[in-house]
Every structure is written in structure tokens, then in C-alpha cells.
A = this chain, B = another copy of it.
């Protein structure tokens, strides 16, 4: 059970290790969307993504016993760096199982935080087996990327800061986050529920990984009908835990196509001059697609991260 106090304690706990990212606005994007948008650029966060919040909050709550043998996780992306970063802060070892197809720049970033990288085949089975082997060999504790209340409470602090910094005089009508495994979305929805109860939360999901919208409707954790999207941070399905939070506190999930995601990403790069990854552009793509839902509204958007492979960009 995540209460307001859980989120406040998480924020106090992680504060020395994370940035309080600013709030950005952009006139052109407001004109184009008709909405009044406040962006929370977590691409400027430690490790380049909001995942530092949840990773640090979880690792800081491990017992000295837990920490003796280090921490482990499997991830091709930002959670890998988050756990490597968090482990370094508490002086323990991190073992990160990464698919051998993960971009070299991400492997290097993980190595740069002093973690050990264990390569595996790029399947969920191989990744889970890899983590099991690490746990057997080293005794390391696993930190799941989203199915963990400590992680979710950490992610909730991004929305908490956005509400504190830009939602006081006039509350947000809508707060938005993308949805993959649902850790950030759960945290965002919980923080909003406690701190800005008149605000509704709407999630964005890629059409090419549209599992959350189905699970949201059916009430059961479902798989996506197919997986094919540029938004490579949002491929995971929900867990029972995150589905529960989302069904309770999220108003709607809307999907967008890859061309819509790429166009929103390009708009942010060109007009805001900041680097965001494709997954991060999903909520703005939703806003641009649905002026009927968002025009005239005060909207907060968590920009989740900026870790892209510059050698493989979707622009031409």
C-alpha cells in the first residue's frame, strides 16, 4: 500500500542522489496543440531518465545484509543504468543482465557506473535465466523494474515535483505519462491522487505495444496483440500490482502510431532543443492527436528520458 507518506518519505530518501528537474514550456508546442503544457524533463535526471528515482529508492531500502552480495536486474535500457547508479551510491556491487543486442552506448554507461554486465540472448526467458544465475552465483538481490512498491513510490516523486512546481496556483487538468510496465504511470497516478485530486491522469501507449489499454479495459494482465514500435522502453506488459493502481487511479489510456510518436519526438527536438527518446514522446503525440481532449486544458507531461542511440535516429 503506497500512501502519501510513502511518497514523501521516498522523496526525502532519494533527494541527495537525484536532480530536481526543472519545468519547461514551449510556445510553439502550445500553439500547435492548443493546450497549456508543462513538461517535466526527466531526460535531465541522473542516468538520463526518471528510472533513477525508483532505482535509488529501492536500493536505499535494502538492509545491510541484502547489500552484502550486491544487487541485480535485467534490462536493456534505463533501469539497468538506474540500478548500476544506485548500487554505486550505496557502495555495493551491481550485476546487470543485458541482451547482447542492447546498444553499445548503454552497456558502456552501465559499465561506467562500475557495474558488471552479463550478456544474454535477447529474449525474456534468457534474461530471467541470466538473473537467476547471477543470484545463485553471487547471492545478489534482484530489484524489479516496476513490480515493486519501492520503485513505484520513487517514480511517483517526478509527478510530485511537477505538481509542487507548476500545479499550485492553478491545478493541472490532466497529468500524463507513457505506460510500459506501469511503474511510472502507477506512481504518477498515486502522487496525483494524493496531491492534486482534481487532476485526472491519462496515459499514452504505442499502438505497436498496446497491452496496457487492453488490460485496463478487461481488468486482467494481457499481452499486446503484436509488438512493433520505435518506443523500445514501453514493450513490457503490466503486472497485477501496476494494473491495480492504474485501474484505480488512471482515467484513460490512448494509443498513438509510430509516425505520430516520431513526429512528436521531432517537434520536441527541433523546438525545445532537448533530446528525448521515442518512448518519451508518446504522451505529447497523444495530445497532438486529440485536440478535442486536450485543447484549452492545463496539461503536465513527464518527459521520461533521453537515452537514444545517435547512430540510429528515425529522422530523414
| Residue contact B275 to A273, C-beta cutoff 8 Å | yes
Interface size (A, Cβ < 8 Å)?
A: 19
Interface string of A32-72 (1 = CB under 8 A from B): 00000000010110001000000000000000000000000
Task: Contacts A269-B310, A273-B276 known; list 18 others, CB within 8 Å.
Answer: A22-B22, A41-B273, A43-B273, A44-B273, A48-B273, A105-B270, A266-B310, A270-B310, A273-B274, A273-B275, A273-B306, A274-B274, A274-B275, A275-B275, A310-B313, A311-B315, A311-B316, A313-B313
What residues of chain B lie closer than 8 Å to A105, measured between beta carbons? Answer: 270
Could you say which residues of chain B place their CB within 8 Å of the CB of A276? Answer: 273
Given the complex of chains A and B, what is the CA–CA distance between A32 and B266 in angstroms?
Answer: 30
**A274 CB to nearest B CB, Å:** 6
List, in ascending order, chain B residues with CB within 8 A of A43's CB. 273
B residues less than 8 Å from A316 (CB atoms): 311
Mask, A276-316, CB within 8 Å of B = 1, is 10000000000000000000000000000010001101011
A14 to B105 Cα, complex, angstroms = 42
Given contacts A313-B310, A316-B311, contact A269 B275 (CB under 8 A): yes
Q: Which 9 A-B pairs have the closest CB atoms?
A: A273-B306, A310-B315, A43-B273, A273-B275, A311-B316, A311-B315, A274-B274, A269-B275, A44-B273
